[in-house]
Chain A
């Protein structure tokens, strides 16, 4: 829950604050998901003509994988077997042929759930020194909250704003040395593309990280939920792929958990709670306990599993729905790329505002250079300066942005985060309002 929601009761009533997904407009893949799920929920629709034939067929096939033909049954712990297999096929396709094994995949109610389960295995509550996990700064608070709620400590490594929020190896080394002195560091958490940073790691950077975790004996946690959103000439490479392509011994030894989800990407079906983790090079003896841990949760919600299946198996060339799907996906990508361009242009044209290039992900995270008077005013009101800015922005211009203090930032710096996955006209509207607010605000506090 955003800090703003705690402060302003009206904000609590605002629905759907965090994320307005571009794909929430009617589009082909969204509609197909809706149709398939409807038929799975009410199987009388499978035999009626209210829905297109391919949606009905898909529903029938999926229901065949459900025990008793019902989405109301429990599934196997790791998920419906056919779906888990198709996830591994998706991963192999995505990673240019790098093999993926279904036994290493668990579907969960969202990626954070799986991350918490894996962290639970990693965090040694009985050890004499507290378990530590290295996490990026800035980062979404959910990750550090998961870590601390398990009794471990999140050790930040600072991303370098001047280098477009890149991960710096010297910073990783520094953070680890710091952690070693006081705690028992066991894992490194990375999120690529970044949230809120919008940074997309280069292959070289990822290779450096892999060498680092290997040398320093850390488990690598790779959060890749924004993998469908990369812009410009940037390319998403999965940690699994980069690792595999580095060859042995690293490829056979570095222990990795990669996370993905239906909540982001083109589907944006966060409410269905569908995600998965793929485990690489994990000790088979430990895998037994990972199974036990997941089995306590029974299984992921079936509709979330179905949505995951649909997301990872979109229409392929040759399918009747492919042309329309292709056009729509391209349009979305173009629109978002345009949003990114416009957001950076506009923000960078405003004095007191500076945005690093948004290479990927769902957000822009520009830096605010607030006048001393504004900082003073915020202090008097008992809130962080960027919180004060965001609250004013919301109350006066109806734009929701979350303050940088929620993500962590270098002392004395301020930022805001806003979503760029909106329809283009919404983006223009947002930028227009942000411009007029910002200009006025800077004037008022000059």
Chain B
């Protein structure tokens, strides 16, 4: 009752009237554990006493946040694009200046502040096509098939939007790996699509078995209309790098079962393990000959957020669309226009990523040095993480073949499982929350990514600087031992 005795009015927008599908959305990477971590940071800064001096956010794949340095050349060009007066400054190298001039010329009014075409700046799309051709050993790429996006996530969600339709038994089903990056499950929940889980094989280093794909598909066909298959390669959170044979098998499977392939390849430069190589789905598809390359529908995604660039804040990305029906493509083009255009600095950055300094150019040596150093350090940290975690009894970590994360399997004692369940919490969330409160280390529980029933994991980034990572791993080890003892 309000003061004058009138019943308070019901709101127009309540959890009962709002879109029910949005209520099903969970996005663990920025979920409750992260919110608690932010609270703890605030408490620390206000002088509250904690068992730790700082909160370490090893939950999110944000390299710069953890101290990775940007590529000098990229930032120089972008600074020149931002304030063209600097083109008169002699301390900027000539190759940076010529790149900047070229980018500015392709921007309306010679400014990154102008809207671009919705599909992205033409010359950038051409450069992306050139990069893809070079990367894929000459397999042709049509710039018209390239859509620049606001991060890869934007492209992924847009494609899913296009794919999802139908009702009840005809509702679109989308196959995603378990474990997966939770943008996929969140987008599918929001679209009201059917999520079809195929389990990666933890015993075989998170490999993908076609028999498992078949099982999942056959089961799903009973209650929905499976139309798409999503694959993340290198994998997130698992880090596995698919072999060429595996990619061919997946393509054959998609062709046979008439599935639209979505290949999330944002970690394509993050390959560390010996014997592992990145093979793009596009390249493998075309090398399988016209029977496949003329028919299999494929969308491949890339981004400026990962690899050696780590420029998450720019929201730069692209997708390449292969063999899409031309009428559907027209609808896609219309759909992307709702966003007006992707951020132009992100487009400019993508242009540099696909068009980096060449041998002989003034910035080349330093560029190679920086890129190699960044990737080498990541490789070392991947190895270090695997090694240390495997020394902990009750933690078992597959080799981190690529990407930016470890996703170890953890044994949680029965008592802890019970306490968690009694509190309505997932056991690995319970574990991670305890770790956060006691050590300040923020990880994401495996339940946020999906895992086989009765197994528990956490995802930890390999991004903190090496000495900090060593301390982190030590603390994780100590916590796990203490936790196991406490609940034994």
Q: Which residues of A contact B (CB under 8 A)?
A: 1, 12, 15-16, 18-20, 24, 31, 34-35, 37-39, 41-42, 45, 48, 50-51, 66-68, 70-77, 109-110, 112-113, 116, 120-126, 142, 145-146, 149, 186, 217-219, 249, 253, 255, 263, 267-273, 281-283, 285-286, 289, 292-293, 295-304, 307
Complex A-B: 8 CB contacts under 8 Å: A34-B85, A37-B79, A51-B83, A66-B313, A71-B314, A110-B340, A272-B112, A300-B315
- Not counting A12-B117, A70-B313, A113-B339, a sample of 13 additional A-B residue pairs whose C-beta atoms are within 8 angstroms of each other reads A15-B108, A72-B310, A121-B19, A124-B19, A125-B21, A145-B337, A186-B12, A270-B340, A283-B15, A289-B22, A296-B186, A298-B315, A301-B314
B343 within 8 A of A: yes
**A77-B30 in contact given A38-B82, A271-B341, A303-B345 (Cβ < 8 Å):** yes
- Per-residue CB proximity of B50-94 to A under 8 Å, as 1/0? 000000000010111111101000011011101111100101000
**A269-B13 in contact given A38-B82, A289-B25 (Cβ < 8 Å):** no
A77 proximity list for chain B (CB < 8 A)? 30
A186 proximity list for chain B (CB < 8 A)? 12-13, 17
B334 within 8 A of A: yes
B60 proximity list for chain A (CB < 8 A)? 74
**A109-B187 in contact given A68-B65, A283-B11, A297-B153 (Cβ < 8 Å):** no
Shortest Cβ distance from residue B25 to the other chain A in the assembled complex, whole angstroms:
5
A286 proximity list for chain B (CB < 8 A)? 11, 13-15, 18
- Per-residue CB proximity of B11-35 to A under 8 Å, as 1/0? 1111101111111011100110000
A249 proximity list for chain B (CB < 8 A)? 2, 6, 9
B190 within 8 A of A: yes
Shortest Cβ distance from residue B122 to the other chain A in the assembled complex, whole angstroms:
8
CA distance A15 to B25 in the complex (A): 39
**A289-B18 in contact given A50-B86, A73-B312, A217-B12 (Cβ < 8 Å):** yes
B345 proximity list for chain A (CB < 8 A)? 271-272, 301, 303
Q: Which residues of chain B from 441 to 469 have a CB within 8 Å of any chain A CB?
A: none
A73 proximity list for chain B (CB < 8 A)? 62, 64-65, 312-313
**A124-B20 in contact given A298-B312, A298-B315 (Cβ < 8 Å):** yes
CA distance A120 to B191 in the complex (A): 10
Closest to B314 in A: A301
CB distance B79 to A41 under 8 Å?
yes
B116 proximity list for chain A (CB < 8 A)? 271
B115 within 8 A of A: yes
CB distance B150 to A68 under 8 Å?
no
**A146-B338 in contact given A41-B75, A120-B190, A186-B17 (Cβ < 8 Å):** yes
User: 3 smallest A-B Cβ distances: which pairs?
Assistant: A16-B108, A271-B344, A302-B313
CB distance B83 to A34 under 8 Å?
yes
CA distance A130 to B3 in the complex (A): 38
Count class of interface residues, chain B? 35 or more
A24 in complex: contacting residue of B65, B84, B109, CB < 8 Å: B109
B428 within 8 A of A: no
A123 proximity list for chain B (CB < 8 A)? 19
CA distance A24 to B104 in the complex (A): 14
CB distance B18 to A301 under 8 Å?
no
A293 proximity list for chain B (CB < 8 A)? 22, 25, 190
Q: Which residues of chain B from 412 to 459 have a CB within 8 Å of any chain A CB?
A: none
CA distance A45 to B85 in the complex (A): 13
CB distance A269 to B338 under 8 Å?
no
A219 in complex: contacting residue of B13, B76, B80, B342, CB < 8 Å: B13
**A121-B25 in contact given A24-B111, A149-B338 (Cβ < 8 Å):** no
CB distance B109 to A145 under 8 Å?
no
A121 proximity list for chain B (CB < 8 A)? 13, 18-19, 22
CA distance A24 to B23 in the complex (A): 43
B151 within 8 A of A: yes
CA distance A307 to B140 in the complex (A): 39
CB distance A270 to B75 under 8 Å?
no
- Per-residue CB proximity of B171-205 to A under 8 Å, as 1/0? 00000000000010011001010000000000000
CB distance A283 to B13 under 8 Å?
yes
CB distance A109 to B315 under 8 Å?
yes
CA distance A72 to B109 in the complex (A): 25
CB distance A271 to B190 under 8 Å?
no
CA distance A299 to B151 in the complex (A): 10
Closest to B96 in A: A42
B311 within 8 A of A: yes
B68 proximity list for chain A (CB < 8 A)? 68
Shortest Cβ distance from residue B206 to the other chain A in the assembled complex, whole angstroms:
24
CB distance B115 to A76 under 8 Å?
no
B154 proximity list for chain A (CB < 8 A)? 297
Shortest Cβ distance from residue B480 to the other chain A in the assembled complex, whole angstroms:
27
CA distance A179 to B129 in the complex (A): 47
Closest to B60 in A: A74
B343 in complex: contacting residue of A45, A112, A272, CB < 8 Å: A272
CA distance A218 to B17 in the complex (A): 12
- Per-residue CB proximity of B38-54 to A under 8 Å, as 1/0? 10000000000000000
B155 within 8 A of A: no
A72 in complex: contacting residue of B80, B115, B151, B312, CB < 8 Å: B312
A270 proximity list for chain B (CB < 8 A)? 113-115, 340-341
Q: Which residues of chain B from 281 to 315 have a CB within 8 Å of any chain A CB?
A: 309-315
B67 in complex: contacting residue of A45, A68, A71, A271, CB < 8 Å: A68
B475 proximity list for chain A (CB < 8 A)? none
B374 within 8 A of A: no
Closest to B89 in A: A50
**A38-B79 in contact given A289-B18, A298-B315 (Cβ < 8 Å):** yes
B400 within 8 A of A: no
CB distance B314 to A271 under 8 Å?
no
A113 proximity list for chain B (CB < 8 A)? 339
Shortest Cβ distance from residue A19 to the other chain B in the assembled complex, whole angstroms:
7
Closest to B84 in A: A34
B344 proximity list for chain A (CB < 8 A)? 271-273
B192 in complex: contacting residue of A74, A126, A218, CB < 8 Å: A126
CB distance B115 to A263 under 8 Å?
yes
CB distance B62 to A67 under 8 Å?
yes
Shortest Cβ distance from residue A262 to the other chain B in the assembled complex, whole angstroms:
8
B79 proximity list for chain A (CB < 8 A)? 37-39, 41-42, 45
B235 within 8 A of A: no
CB distance B21 to A255 under 8 Å?
no
Q: Chain A CB within 10 Å — which of B12, B84, B311, B343 has the most?
A: B12
Closest to B112 in A: A271
B19 proximity list for chain A (CB < 8 A)? 120-126
A255 in complex: contacting residue of B13, B20, B27, B150, CB < 8 Å: B13
Shortest Cβ distance from residue B427 to the other chain A in the assembled complex, whole angstroms:
23
B118 within 8 A of A: yes
CB distance A70 to B64 under 8 Å?
yes
CA distance A38 to B89 in the complex (A): 13
A126 in complex: contacting residue of B21, B161, B309, B333, CB < 8 Å: B21
